[in-house]
Amino acid sequence: MTEVTAQAPARRTPSRRGRWWAEIGWKYPVAAIIIFYAAFPLVYVLSASLSSSGTLSSTSSLFSDISFSNYAALSDTSYWTWVVNTLIVGGASALGAVFMGACAAYAFSRFRFKGRRGGLTTLLIVQMFPQTVAFVSVFLLLTALGNVVPALGINSKIALICVYLGGALGANTFLMYGFFNTIPNDIDESAKVDGATHAQIFWKLIMPLVTPILAVVGLLAFISAFGDFILAKIVLVSQDEWTLAVGMYQWVSNQLSANWGLFAAGAVIASLPVLAIFLSLQKYIVGGLTAGSVKG
Amino acid sequence: MANDDAIAVKEPRAPRESHARRWSGLGWGFIAKLLMMALVNALGLTIILSAWNAEAWSILAVSVILLVAADIIYFAKRTLPLKYLYPGLIFLAIFQLFTLAYTGYVAFTNYGTGHAGSQEQAVEATLIQNERRVEGTPTVPLAIVRDGDTLGFAVTQDGIVSVGTEEDVLEPVSGAVVDDSGRATEVPGWEIVTQNDLFADQALQQDVIDLRVPVSDDAEEGSMRTRDGSSGAIYQSSLEWDDEAQTFTDKETGTVYVADQETGNFVADDGSRLPTGWSVTVGFDNFVKAVTDQNLAGPLLKVTLWTFAFAILTVLTSFGLGLLFALIYNDDRIRGRKWMRTIFILPYAFPAFMSALLWRGMLNREFGIINDWFFFGADINWLGDPWLAKFAILWVNLWLSYPYWFLVCTGALQALPSETMEASRMDGAGRWRQFRSITLPLLMVSTAPLAISSFAFNFNNFTIIYMLTEGGPPFPGTSGLGSTDILISAIYNISGVSGGSADYGLASALSIIVFIVVGIISAIAFRQTRKLEEI
């Protein structure tokens, strides 16, 4: 920025310089304000995580003392168990969502069968009703299932994954269906002539061609499982089963016993990979988000 | 090519066996499928057997149907599309369609605390709850035994040791050893819990005091209970159930409680009722209660209004700010645009629940940095004042979601046809005129559907509300709701799924209302995008 303002007078006459300020120049200080607005909470959480005190109390300056005691203290808590739980739940839901979504999209895109149009329409309508609003009956259903199969009951990660997978088909099929349709049918036809079965076509021909959409759907499913709070809080009861969202909420929800130092350290660790993935793939993620409702 | 033709010609003469059932030709493909199906069948049978044992008949029926369907689909020739759809459909049917339908059913019942099961279960529970020690019966020596997690009592009556647990009635056992006081010290197959162990373990003490070992299969015969862990006595219910007349009679006072099928309660003539009832369908009572109940109607109305205000204002502010930034920084002449953009969208990349928790700390009245840095240490109760809390929620949600709109609008602006913009400039349109008449309408075409889905999302944005304020500050009164509660967090509080008194019926009725709102919004979005045309 200083560079730019320093260069300006050399090249521009005073009137042009005025115009430059009116047209472009003012955007730099405004950008500085926006950057401050966007980044100061994040810089602050980084500073708090490196502070040696466990409170979020205001210090006169950021990064006044650098200590890794909060990070070290994480291993005395269930934090890493929660990380593992989150990875298991998110990973399994992402894999399941990708697999089931791809299968369904393949069927809708490649086969012509009775009820195809009706099936697609039904999916479209069902996905409008968010599963989270039905959490009461999810709770009741899991309570009943848990009496029969404990692995599918309350306080089981498998049950939570199943619940997430229930919402997977509605959310992802359309995204994938559109992408599958862009793969020309001729490819399947020629493979079929060569004697390939539908399963071979699916696994060996189509899947490699649709990898980008598989990645997007997997990522979106992971992020939504990572960020879900209400279902995870209802299903996972005991501390050892919690995901990060439930566990970290519990850390700071009680004002008296809130441990903000731990929270800050945990938040930095958990958000770094997410930030890295998001920033490197921002184009695809935003593409995926928008494609969900707008199609070119 | 010649080879291919030869095969194609031969085929009609010797029709291939469907590869759904073919051993040869596919190599490991069929074997893999067979293994998968063996696994699925094993799993299915396990579930069916445990459903049988637990006497859960509906779960049994559903799992039988699903398993048979799976076998038919994966071994028949004509079910090709279903082979690909079935796994997803099962999850969709159980965990989405069923839960939606079940919400619809529960909304018309009084299911909840005090109305949890069938009438039969309510009778049994009432008998147990009203157990009192029978006057004049002797205490008997009692020892606590356990087998793994199962606790039981070993009681000595007339020199004979009987063992029972919560599930199993007292039955005499042979081979037990008793001490001088008559307490069993050794019981084959059971581990004796010593008094020392009992005193050391608070949770165990509570379990022992709560434990009731039925004397016989009939709940009215009463049960063996203990207060001190070393002697037991027979407890019997002070109520007597008459199955014919469907009434409870209090043995002491003679009060008669009649089973009322309308409300699912046992009610006496004077209007008093027993605490445990059963679940019955109540028609539209829950919906009526939501709008007429004195404690609930006012807060619920406020919650509903705030839900709409919150969702609309969030979309408007974040869309506006994102669009503004996109308009300003969609300019090739600015240097370092890429870096600026990356920092602009950082809040969006930071996980939302952590952002909400972080802001909760920063907005804290006593030690939050917002008061300290920006308001010179003023004592502003951001999350405790009804209006400030609302403002704080909107502010945090703006911080969270403007980057999304910044990205979307930047993309949309770059996709605008440059000829149109050029042409408008030629015709002498000023910057404002160009924005209002060309840019904005074109932008709305692609962003309006997103705005609608964003509205629907925020309408149910439980995470930010709960993480930031938990719905508080609470309304005066006993509704349990607060001024920043939106409908879904209100439902969460009312439903009692996280503990406390539960009213699943009312919560489900409110869910139905949310579904209707979201359904209407989605229908509008649906017409906008006309996705059906693509099918």
Q: Does B532 have pLDDT greater than 60?
A: no
Chain A residues with CB-CB distance to B92 below 8 A: 123, 126, 166, 169-170
pLDDT score of B389 more than 90: yes
**Contacting residues of B for A23, CB less than 8 Å apart:** 333
Per-residue pLDDT of chain A (296 residues), as tens digits, is 444 444 444 455 667 788 888 878 888 888 899 999 998 899 988 888 888 765 555 455 667 777 788 888 888 888 999 999 999 999 999 999 999 999 999 999 988 888 888 888 888 888 878 888 889 899 999 988 988 888 888 889 999 999 999 888 887 888 888 888 888 888 888 888 888 888 888 888 889 888 888 888 888 888 889 889 999 999 998 888 999 999 999 888 876 667 788 888 999 998 888 888 877 776 666 555 554 433 22
B492 contacts B462 by C-beta, under 8 angstroms: yes
Measured distance CA(B131)–CA(A183) in Å, rounded: 71
B519 touching chain A per CB within 8 A: yes
Q: Which two tokens stand for residue B393?
A: 């929620």
Beta-carbon neighbour count of residue B21 at 10 Å?
A: 11
pLDDT digits (tens, 9 = 90+) for B192-214: 888 788 887 777 888 888 888 88
Instruction: Give the pLDDT of residue A184.
Output: 87
Q: Give residue-wise pLDDT tens across range B306-337.
A: 999 999 999 999 999 999 999 888 888 888 88
| CA dihedral of residues A1, B338, A40, A275 (deg, nearest 10) | -150
> Which pLDDT score, from 0 to 100, does residue A6 have?
45
Helices B80-92 and B57-75: crossing angle, nearest 10°? Answer: 160
Q: Which of A179, A180, A182, A284 is nearest to A223 (CA)?
A: A284
Amino acid at B219: A
Under a CB-based contact definition with an 8 Å cutoff, are residues B344 and B406 in contact? Answer: yes
CA distances from residue A70 to A75, A263, B164, B334 in whole angstroms, order as listed: 9, 9, 51, 41
- In this structure, are residues B407 and A286 in contact, taking their beta carbons and an 8 Å threshold? yes
Domain ranges of chain A: 92-287
Neighbours of A251 (CB within 10 A): 20
| Cβ neighbours of residue B354 closer than 8 Å, sequence gap 6 or more | A248, A267, A270, A271
What dotted CATH number matches B297-534?
1.10.3720.10
Question: Is a pLDDT exceeding 60 seen at residue B8?
Answer: no
* DSSP string of B70-100, one letter each residue: HHHHHH-SS-HHHHHHHHHHHHHIIIIIIHH
Please check whether residue B526 touches A, CB under 8 A: yes
**How many A×B Cβ pairs under 8 Å?**
302
Which residue would you say has higher pLDDT here, B416 or B484? B484
- Does the beta-carbon distance from B353 to A178 stay under 8 Å? no
- At the second CATH level, the architecture of A92-287 is Orthogonal Bundle (1.10)
- The three-state secondary structure class of B256 is strand
Superfamily covering domain B247-291:
MalF N-terminal region-like (3.10.650.10)
CA distance between the termini of chain B: 36
Q: Which residues from B are below 8 Å from A140, CB to CB? A: 102, 106, 111, 504
Across the interface, whether the CB atoms of A169 and B92 are under 8 A apart is answered yes
Distance of alpha carbon B529 from its chain centroid, rounded? Answer: 31
- Contact (CB<8Å) A131/B96: yes
Inter-chain touch B92–A193, beta carbons under 8 Å:
no
**DSSP classification of residue B113:** T
CATH class of the structural domain B132-237: mainly beta
Percentage of chain B lying above the pLDDT 70 cut: 93
Question: With contacts defined as CB-CB under 8 Å, which chain B residues touch A145?
Answer: 59
Position A5 scores a pLDDT of: 45
Give per-residue pLDDT as tens, B434-473. Answer: 888 888 888 887 788 788 888 888 998 999 999 998 887 8
Closest CA to B101 of B510, B507, B508: B508
Compute the Cα dihedral for B57, B58, B59, B60 and give only its sign. positive
Q: In the prediction, which pLDDT does B15 show?
A: 46
Residue B30 contacts A where some CB pair is shorter than 8 Å: no
Question: Given an 8 Å threshold on Cβ–Cβ distance, is B529 in contact with A227?
Answer: no
**What ipTM was reported for this prediction?**
0.85
Q: Token pair of B110, please?
A: 């009084």
Q: Is B367:B330 a contact under the CB 8 Å cutoff?
A: no
Using a CB-CB cut-off of 8 Å, the residues of chain B touching A279 are: 342, 345, 349
A249 to B357: CB separation less than 8 angstroms, yes or no: yes
**What residues of chain B lie within 8 A of the CB of A133, using their CB?**
103, 460, 488, 491, 511, 514-515, 518
Q: Of the segments A83-92, B24-33, B168-177, B412-421, which one has the largest average pLDDT value?
A: A83-92
Angle at A211 between CA A210 and CA A214, to 5 degrees: 95
Q: Do A144 and B355 touch (CB under 8 A)?
A: no
Q: Which residues of chain B make contact with A248, given a CB cutoff of 8 A?
A: 353-354, 357
CB contact at 8 A, A66 and A49 = no
Please say if the pLDDT value at position B409 is more than 60. yes
pLDDT at B399: 94
CA B173 to chain A, closest CA, distance in angstroms equals 30
As a whole number, the mean pLDDT across chain B is: 82
Residue B381: its pLDDT value, please? 85
pLDDT for the residue B14: 43
Residue B95 sits at the chain A interface (C-beta within 8 Å): yes
